[in-house]
Structure 1
Amino acid sequence: MGEVRLNDAEVLAATRQWLEKAVIGLNLCPFAKAVYVKNQVRLVVSKARHADDLLEELDRELDLLVATPAEEIDTTLLIHPTLFDDFLDFNDFMEIAESVVDEHELEGVLQLASFHPCFQFEGTDTDDLGNYTNRAPFAILHLLREDSVERAVQAYPDAEGIFERNIETLNQLGLAGWQALHTKS
């Protein structure tokens, strides 16, 4: 984030590195690898100049995901590298984004998850390593199919314990280990 503007290829490369090294590499989401290796994860770099434009892009991505078989696109990451420097602004925007899902009458069909470079769970300190489970190089709206999530959770033993295992993994890794994941290799 900041003043440096990255081109789409750089944004996609950084996002893929985060997915491969952190999300999949640390097994933060045990369901991600299967769809990622099958190229069923759509990565979209947003061109929105303000929140209203991003909501229009979200509209289009919701429609596309619903209209496309899961075998082609199972999930979408709508990445915005510059619009939301402030996490609290992004968090407020997510409430509006959730209402877009409702407007499309997709509650129970699609859900949104969020990632941000400064993600912070309510009631935690900024530097709490548990926050890093949702930290990404950029603000990201993650569009997920409810039925895919449900199937993955049913197939995964102790899905309820994923968050706790993630925090344990990150505590063992430490901040220096997390930062080392994001250096180019």
Structure 2
Amino acid sequence: MNQTTNTVHQDVEYWLKNIVVGLGLCPFASLPLKENTIRITAFLGTDTEELLGFLEQELTTIEKSDTSQIETTLVAVPNCLHDFYEYNLYFDSIDRLIKINQWEGVFQVASFHPDYQFSGTEPSDRENLTNRSPYPMFHLLREDSLEAALKHFPNPEDIPERNIQCMEKLPEKQVNELFYYLFNKR
């Protein structure tokens, strides 16, 4: 299904504000959201080789910018990588891209997908909701910013467990409302 850049941006912004920040899933996202330093982009193509070029351009943009302009970038991919298995395999290409450009230790890429499933879980397990986004998505992070944020946050290793508990405590009605995009595919 083909999406417009505007629609994708709105959907990602909704997810970021209401789920990631609203539920406190990422304690580091609130400040960059408030400071408007989270870049949201959309790759509307269907070719994964072109997507790799797009990701390289986005990483270069981050590299050339100051954190006061772009702290981090979310790249939504509404028209390809719908299969979660293929999406996961695609990270091999991203890892090669980072290695070729000598960005190891500079950038990290986090993953979000509408069908995200942690290893050892069932598709319906609530904990998977912590990484379920409206579209396949790549979160391009500056490693130095991540390290700085982790220094000021007590027990960051507890974040995943806290997020799982948050998802398990949500009433079914709230899950259906917040994650409407998982149940009402456009």
| Corresponding residue number in structure 1 for 2:119 | 122
- Residue 60 of structure 1, aligned match among 46, 57, 60: 57
Are 1:94 and 2:105 counterparts?
A: no
Aligned residue runs from structure 1 range 107-118, under 5 A: 107-118=104-115
Which residue identity is paired with 2:146? V
Whether the aligned pair in 2 keeps the contact of 1:115 and 1:134 (CA below 8 Å) is: yes
For 1:145-165, what per-residue CA distance to the aligned partner results, in whole angstroms no more than 9, with x for missing partners? 001101111111111100000
1:97 Cα shift? 1.0
Unaligned runs of 5+ in 2: 182-186
Whether the aligned pair in 1 keeps the contact of 2:5 and 2:44 (CA below 8 Å) is: no
Unaligned runs of 5+ in 1: none
For 1:101-160, what per-residue CA distance to the aligned partner results, in whole angstroms no more than 9, with x for missing partners? 111111111100010000011111111111111110001111000011011111111111
TM (normalized to structure 2)? 0.93
| Corresponding residue number in structure 1 for 2:70 | 73
Are 1:153 and 2:168 counterparts?
A: no
Are 1:45 and 2:38 counterparts?
A: no
1:10 Cα shift? 1.0
1:175 Cα shift? 4.6
1:26 and 1:161 map into 2 onto residues whose CA distance is 15
2:116 and 2:104 map into 1 onto residues whose CA distance is 24
Q: Which sits farther off after the overlay, 169-178 or 114-123?
A: 169-178
Are 1:18 and 2:15 counterparts?
A: yes
Which residue identity is paired with 1:111? Q
| Corresponding residue number in structure 1 for 2:184 | none
1:175 and 1:121 map into 2 onto residues whose CA distance is 20
Whether the aligned pair in 2 keeps the contact of 1:17 and 1:182 (CA below 8 Å) is: no
Which residue identity is paired with 2:154? P
- Pick closer, same or farther for the CA change 1:56–1:161 going to 2, 3 Å: same
May I ask how many residue pairs the two structures share in their alignment? 181
Post-superposition, which runs of at least 4 consecutive aligned residues in structure 1 deviate over 6 A?
Answer: none
